[in-house]
Amino acid sequence: MFQMRGKGALMNNRGYMTIEASVIIPIVLFGIFATILGLMLAYERGHIKASENERLYTVPLEYIRNENVEEYLNAADYEKGIVCGSAAVSCGYSGHKATAEGILRVIDENEVNSGREIGVCTDRLRRWQLYDDTFAE
């Protein structure tokens, strides 16, 4: 397959590996770095979104009755599981609508928002349907 015909044959292909190593390898390494950074950003956004939704959907009934939902939502530590970067989450409650608006800072600022209507008729109907099913048994 490969035959060497003296020392002159090695001299003709001498720069091939140098060009490959200096051009292609940095492109591959940059692609790997960008992929890892993108996955970290997706993880951080998912973690903030999950924390917001967990807090929005686990509001105790006593906070809803006393109209202290905003106090309950702001008491959470949303930065607890963040690996890199920082987050700032502000929560609000007005007119049976609870919202959590977060800003995640990893490279630049990314918005992560969640919202839920609390104490409206659809929640009550679902509860009554569930109780009706268990009452029949």
Higher pLDDT, 134 or 53: 53
Convert the pLDDT of each residue in 20-57 to its tens digit: 778 888 999 999 999 999 998 888 888 889 888 888 88
pLDDT of 130 strictly over 70: no
Mean pLDDT of the 71-95 span: 82
* 97 alpha carbon, distance to own chain's centre: 23
Cβ-count burial 42-70 (b if 16+ within 10 Å, e if not): eebbebbbebbeebbeebeeebbeeeebb
Rounded to the nearest 5°, which phi and psi values hold at 86? Answer: -145, 160
Order of strands across the sheet with 109-117? 86-94, 97-105, 109-117
pLDDT band for position 123 (50/70/90)?
A: low
Mean pLDDT of the 59-78 span: 84
